[in-house]
Structure 1
Amino acid sequence: MITNENIKVSEVWLTGLNGEDLGIMPTKEALSLAKKHKVDLVCTTLMSSPPPCRLIRAGEARQEAQQSRKREKEPKLKEIRLTPHIEDHDYDTKKQQAERILSGGDAVLLVVRIQGKEGERAKALLETLVKDLHASGRKKNGIQVSGKQAAVQLDPL
């Protein structure tokens, strides 16, 4: 995002404070208009001719750039490992950890390690954990029990 005097093109396509189209005008005229209204002149892209620019209140441009960077961030998949014989305190700790990850915008893969005939117990544990986390995330797919582990992925709301 290019602002004010850093815009080096000869003319711009200007949009006003309330979204009204002010048309194509010389950059110097657009800058004087921005100074007159005590706002910033912000160029969103230089890929078109003339480039589109907007009048934005001071400080809003910086906030908007930060918001767009947050939206561009790719959500990560974080794994939390459990055992079928988990105690209540450990269960609460893992649940809080999953809630924190989901509220941060990342997905969680809950994995329960299985030894012997613990498949049903592992599946029941994951079902209760998914039910407890329904306020923070939702299942991407069903609980998958295969070989030595049972897993389910939760995506943030």
Structure 2
Amino acid sequence: MIMNEQIKASEVRLTGADGEDLGIVSRAEALELARKLRMDLVCDSLFSSPPPCRLVARGAAKQQKNEASRAERLAGGAAKVKELRLTPHIEDHDYDTKLRQAEKLLASGNAVQFVVKLTNSKEGAAAKGLLERLLKDLNASGRRETGIQVSGKQAAVKVNPAQ
């Protein structure tokens, strides 16, 4: 995606923010209009002369590009499952770090498997409480696929990205 000053053509075919055709204008005129309206000038294709460009709300073009690439990645194949390991007696700072890691992984389209390692059988309730807290904090980013499974030396839950 080519935006603003990256556009090198001397003239562009300009389309307004509402889809109206503004005709063929010079690059400098188009950039000045974009600055005045606080918008971005985005070139759709370089294969025609003059290249078609449009005015887009500032930042919206990058957001559309990111959404398109994310959708392409999700359609490209099955989501990878990333494992995050914890202990039942985790400090608040470490918990926040793991939460941020999980949000980043879920935002990129990966599923997250939380595994809480247990050292003895009495830590099962603490591990379950920790996983419930994580699920509550990640409610906006992802939905759990499995229930919380406590067995032997670990407790686990799998979270898929929210669609």
State TM-score, norm by structure 1: 0.57
| Deviation, structure 1 residue 73 | 3.0
Matched, 1:107 2:120: no
Matched, 1:83 2:87: yes
Q: Deviations over 1:103-157 (max 9, x none)?
A: 0000000000011110000000000010000000011011000010000000001
Residue identity over aligned pairs, in percent, reads 57
Which whole-Å CA distance do the structure 2 matches of 1:132 and 1:118 have between them? 21
- Report the residue type matching 2:159 in the other structure: L
Which whole-Å CA distance do the structure 2 matches of 1:135 and 1:105 have between them? 14
Report what 2:152 is aligned to. Answer: 147
- Report the residue type matching 2:148 in the other structure: I
Flag structure 1 segments of 5+ consecutive residues without an equivalent: 1-37, 39-56, 58-62
Matched, 1:131 2:136: yes
Q: Deviations over 1:50-86 (max 9, x none)?
A: xxxxxxx9xxxxx8x9677522132100000000110
- SS of corresponding position for 1:153: strand
2:70, 2:109 within 8 Å by CA — same for their partners in 1? no
Which whole-Å CA distance do the structure 1 matches of 2:82 and 2:138 have between them? 15
Size of the aligned set, in residue pairs, is: 98
- SS of corresponding position for 2:93: helix
In the TM superposition, structure 1's runs of 4+ consecutive aligned residues that sit over 4 Å from their partners are 65-69
- Report the residue type matching 1:74 in the other structure: A
Larger radius of gyration between Structure 1 and Structure 2: 1
Give the alignment's Cα RMSD to 1 decimal: 2.4
- Report the residue type matching 2:99 in the other structure: K
Alignment of 1:12-51 (within 5 A): none
2:76 corresponds, among 72, 76, 84, to 72
Report what 2:4 is aligned to. Answer: none
- SS of corresponding position for 1:118: helix
2:141, 2:161 within 8 Å by CA — same for their partners in 1? yes
Report what 2:40 is aligned to. Answer: none
